[in-house]
Amino acid sequence: MSFLGVETSLTGRRWVGPAADVTRLAEAMAQQTGFVPALCQTLARLGVPAEEAKTYLAPTLRDLLPDPRSLRDMETAARRVLASVERRERVAVFADYDVDGGTSAALLIDWFRQQGREVTLYIPDRIDEGYGPNDAAMSDLAAGHDLIICVDCGTLSHGPIAAAKGADVVVLDHHLGGETLPEALAVVNPNRQDESGDLAHLCAAAVVFLMLVEAGRQMREAGRRGPDLMAMLDLVALATVADVAPLIGVNRALVRQGLKVMSRRERVGLVALSDVARLDTAPTSYHLGFVLGPRVNAGGRIGQADLGARLLASTEVHEAQAMAERLDQLNTERREIEGAVRAAALEQAEARGLDGPLVWAAGEGWHPGVVGIVASRLKEMTNRPSVVIGLDGAEGKGSGRSVAGVDLGASIQRLAAEGLLVKGGGHKMAAGLTVARDKLDAAMERLGELLERQGAGQGGAVDLRLDGILMPGAASLELMEQIEAAGPFGAGAAAPRYVFPDVQILLAKQVGQSHLKISFGDGLGARIEAICFGALDGPLGPALRDHGGKRFHLAGRLEVNEWNGRRSVQLRLEDAAAASDAA
């Protein structure tokens, strides 16, 4: 049954309220704990039992951090890294070009630097070299280094790791492993086939952090003291959110503590990036995922591959400021390129049909640095796994994004094993691939078959799931503080979404090219402001701007807006329905 009778909202979605069992749990929790109903509703939806509610609101690494030794090869990896410091060996870090790879590299650079050692950073060019280690780069690095640490890559790199003759290789990764592992000294990866899967939700930076925890333990056992790892959690938090790792278990504690570290503004690179992004409030998980993360990513997408990692590892203010400004500029260019590819991909996908198990598009010269973002947009629009490929010569390189319950990475790996892809891999929610042009159609048809077996394509447009109703007068800063205690929110732990029912729009004005800012009230004196990004690109913005006095149900997520030292609650508006149209 639809919530508030909204079967088709202004964005074409059906509204779905909280399940009856969740509401019952929330009511029982409110009686047992004395927490406000809105907080209990959120905790119940997240699956938190009433007896664990107070502990959940205060997650600590002490309680949630797993034993690093529970991961295979961990002791060996940490021991070898420590030996490289003691022997003053030459060490290279080979990292992926995204945020997770950049932060993983910066963690190691920081850790080695605090012990008086500098390491070589190598990040492959997305276009010229593609994802992960390659034979030439690994051979060259091995010729000049004793140890190569591959972060956020390497689990499937059998050939390149074999090419690193004369050097030891340690892999710290989280991508889905194959049936066999490369001949590295150690492969630490919670997504190895022979792991339990209990830590499969960790990003690569979290795996690196656990290795450093294990190294710290071994140093203490030897009577030595290592670097302050807690001060490095800002990098782990950034990677966890930007890589869309689910905010459950230890990930939640890592992000929560990391945000506190980041708010101290001690890391030169993150301070410069925050300033150039005009971030003048305490950072939240939203800022990590949508403000800082895209800028760190911009270098690897369309610019200099190692720029993000170098910024995060920088200790020189002026150097960091220059790199942050360049990344901000590249991010602007990336948005422009993305917009053009997105429009072309959507047109092609619509012509092919959006009701199958897979939505895909491929185009000549589409920039490899934006195909993943465009795939994500298609996935969000259609509620289906999506793949977008840029063609160049005889091959195409693409990225895919999946929906909950559909393992895209495993299907891509199977396609590669069947010979329909040149190569491919990833994890459940995201994957990369290289395909021969003459096998493109066959590969996508086969991928659709594999995804359909997992249930892809059975749903229609994404339902808008709502936590309940709020009135404008109830949306206070005090309520926000209570709800935020259940955070941080993100992948796997969505922030609560509320409906303000039957409200009157008091003011509506366009902001920038496509955004809409409104003020609304319930006629009882209370009013609240809302911002809707990109509203004027679709039907939502014009309907609210030209409301003509109509009343609406407004749905979205609450946030704290800070302006000129004043804090207020505003609604990040996501959807609306005319109150008179609802049943």
- pLDDT (tens digit per residue) in 445-459: 999 999 999 988 776
CA distance 161 to 133: 8
Assigned token pair, 32: 């047992």
The pLDDT value given to residue 12 = 87
Q: Looking at per-residue confidence, does 439 or 566 come out higher?
A: 439
> Confidence band (pLDDT; 50, 70, 90) for 460?
low
The pLDDT value given to residue 62 = 92
The pLDDT value given to residue 524 = 86
Its pTM stands at 0.88
- Beta-bridge mates of residue 388: 361, 399
Q: What is the dihedral of CA 506, 512, 515, 520, to 10 degrees?
A: -10
Q: Looking at per-residue confidence, does 30 or 537 come out higher?
A: 30
> Confidence band (pLDDT; 50, 70, 90) for 583?
very low
CA 424-375-540 angle, to 5 degrees, is 165
Map residue 8 onto helix, strand or coil. coil
CA distance 284 to 466: 22
> Confidence band (pLDDT; 50, 70, 90) for 513?
confident
Contact 305, 125 (CB under 8 A): yes
Contact 119, 146 (CB under 8 A): no
Assigned token pair, 435: 């395909």
Rounded to an integer, the average pLDDT of 559-576 is 89
The residue written with tokens 């689990």 in the block is: 155
Dump pLDDT digits (tens) for 524-559.
889 999 999 989 888 999 999 999 999 999 999 999
Rounded to an integer, the average pLDDT of 38-47 is 95
Rounded to an integer, the average pLDDT of 466-475 is 94
Asked whether residue 16 carries a pLDDT value surpassing 90, the answer given is: yes
Assigned token pair, 415: 């396609």
CA distance 106 to 146: 20
Map residue 430 onto helix, strand or coil. strand
Rounded to an integer, the average pLDDT of 440-446 is 97
Q: Which of 403-407, 411-415, 498-502 has the lowest mean pLDDT?
A: 403-407
> Confidence band (pLDDT; 50, 70, 90) for 563?
confident
3-class DSSP string for 286-353 = HHHHHHHHHHHHHHHHHCCCCHHHHHHHCCCHHHHHHHHHHHHHHHHHHHHHHHHHHHHHHHHHHHHC
Dump pLDDT digits (tens) for 175-224.
999 899 999 999 999 999 999 999 999 999 999 999 999 999 999 999 99
**Contacts for 565 with CB less than 8 Å, ≥ 6 apart:** none
Asked whether residue 581 carries a pLDDT value surpassing 70, the answer given is: no
**Residues making up the chain, counted from first to last:** 583
CA distance 313 to 293: 15
Map residue 156 onto helix, strand or coil. coil
Dump pLDDT digits (tens) for 277-286.
999 888 999 9
Domain ranges in the chain with CATH number 3.90.1640.30:
64-328
Domain ranges in the chain with CATH number 3.10.310.30:
353-453
- Beta-bridge mates of residue 567: 562
CA 464, distance to chain mean position in Å, is 20
> Confidence band (pLDDT; 50, 70, 90) for 320?
very high
Dump pLDDT digits (tens) for 332-390.
999 999 999 999 999 999 999 988 999 999 999 999 889 999 999 999 888 899 999 99
Asked whether residue 492 carries a pLDDT value surpassing 90, the answer given is: no
> Confidence band (pLDDT; 50, 70, 90) for 461?
low
Q: Can you count the helices (H) and strands (E) in the chain?
A: 21, 18
CA distance 312 to 110: 9
Domain ranges in the chain with CATH number 2.40.50.460:
3-16+466-578
Asked whether residue 249 carries a pLDDT value surpassing 70, the answer given is: yes
Cβ atoms within 10 A of the Cβ of 364, count?
Answer: 9
- Structure letter (DSSP) for residue 472: G
End-to-end CA distance of the chain: 11
What is 358-392 written as a DSSP string?
-EEEEEET--TTTHHHHHHHHHHHHTS-EEEEEEE
The pLDDT value given to residue 122 = 97
The pLDDT value given to residue 582 = 47
Sequence letter at residue 564? N
CA distance 199 to 174: 9
Rounded to an integer, the average pLDDT of 58-70 is 95
Sequence letter at residue 198? D
> Confidence band (pLDDT; 50, 70, 90) for 127?
confident
Sequence letter at residue 238? L
For the chain, give the percent of residues with pLDDT over 70: 99
The mean pLDDT of the chain is 94
Sequence letter at residue 561? N
Asked whether residue 130 carries a pLDDT value surpassing 90, the answer given is: no
CATH code of domain 353-453: 3.10.310.30
- Beta-bridge mates of residue 383: none
CATH architecture of the domain formed by 3-16+466-578:
Beta Barrel (2.40)
CATH of 64-328, one of 3.90.1640.30, 3.40.50.300, 3.10.20.340, 3.30.70.100: 3.90.1640.30
